[in-house]
Amino acid sequence: MLDNLIFSLNVVVPIFAVMFLGYVLKKREIITPGFLSVGNKIVFYVALPALLFRGVYTSEIGEFADVRFIAFAVIATTLTFFIIWGVSALFLKEKTVLASFAQGAYRGSFAMLGIPLIINIAGDAGMARATVIVVFVVPLYNVFSILALAPCTGGKLKPAAIILAVLKNPSNIMIALGILLSVLGVPLPVMISGTINTTANLATPMALLCLGGGMVFYGFDSRFKYAVIGSIIKVIIIPVVFVSAAIALGFRDYELAVMTIKAGIPSAVAGYAMAVQMGGDSYIASSIVVISTIASVFTLTTFIYILRAAGFLWA
């Protein structure tokens, strides 16, 4: 039991400790808005694509092209959004509140937070499975976020623009390149592989500092209860349902670890930024991020502990 607890804490605590450091540095004005703007761009355009490229290039791609895994992740993500959005619409009549609640309750920060957690729990072997989520699921986050928030601006969903954005995403481009070079067996010169490795190593610390520095909490008001309910849905209800279904379908070890992280990570800071930009309720969006992030330190540790103790993760 102690070994399982230590394993779980070793996965979760270091990641959230660096996020907390980012929050503290922002409060001390060491991390500034300018730093966050540049840092997020470095992660999105440079470091994260390098990390994902390394993950797929150094893996046996065929081993991880699991149609069941891809289908489950896509279907579960889609159902999660529409169920949360549909049920919430029965109770929340104000469109800005509904939009931010639905988005915050379903959208996780997989690329910037999920991947560091997966590396901690599954090492580089988990990266190939993680790229499946980045390619097939993360674009759905953006599509569904726009769908949820569009009523706030009166805008319409433009499929062509979304598809183009997915194709132009630097991470997707580098994943495709990594797969191509791996399949063709093209060796990389040491100078190039060394540069990619060094750049990839920036991704986790920079992403976590920016996530922590980007969190905003506006205090308490009457809408706080919606943020609490949204956070409970995000870090407890969704992972319990999602992981239970995955276990019932026979997923174990690396696949189950990725699915657990995918389902249990807190609400995305990017979702808050999108809510602000598109006219959603910024208070609910930011509060769900903060509450779910704090709560997920405990919930993720508990889920990983239970799954490992039950023999579903590397028994």
User: What's the predicted TM-score (pTM) here?
Assistant: 0.90
pLDDT value, residue 62: 65
pLDDT value, residue 156: 60
DSSP result, 93-138: -SHHHHHHHHHHHH-B-IIIIIHHHHHHHHGGGGHHHHHHHHHHTH
pLDDT value, residue 63: 58
pLDDT value, residue 130: 85
Architecture in CATH for domain 2-308 = Up-down Bundle (1.20)
pLDDT value, residue 128: 76
Q: Is the dihedral of CA 286, 166, 113, 262 positive or negative?
A: positive
CB 138 within 8 A of CB 33: no
β-bridge mates for residue 108, sequence order: 267
Per-residue pLDDT of the chain (315 residues; tens, 9 = 90+): 789 999 999 999 999 999 999 999 999 999 999 999 999 999 989 999 999 898 888 877 665 668 899 999 999 999 999 999 999 999 998 999 999 999 999 999 898 899 999 989 988 778 778 888 888 888 888 888 888 888 887 656 666 776 777 778 898 889 889 889 988 999 999 999 999 999 999 999 999 999 999 998 888 888 999 999 999 999 999 999 999 999 999 999 999 999 999 999 999 988 888 888 888 899 999 999 999 999 999 999 999 999 999 999 985
Closest CA to 290 of 208, 192, 219: 219
Query: How far is the C-alpha of 138 from the C-alpha of 47, rounded, in Å?
Result: 17
Closest CA to 141 of 97, 51, 215, 81: 81
pLDDT value, residue 74: 94
User: Domain-by-domain residue ranges, the chain?
Assistant: 2-308
CB 133 within 8 A of CB 225: no
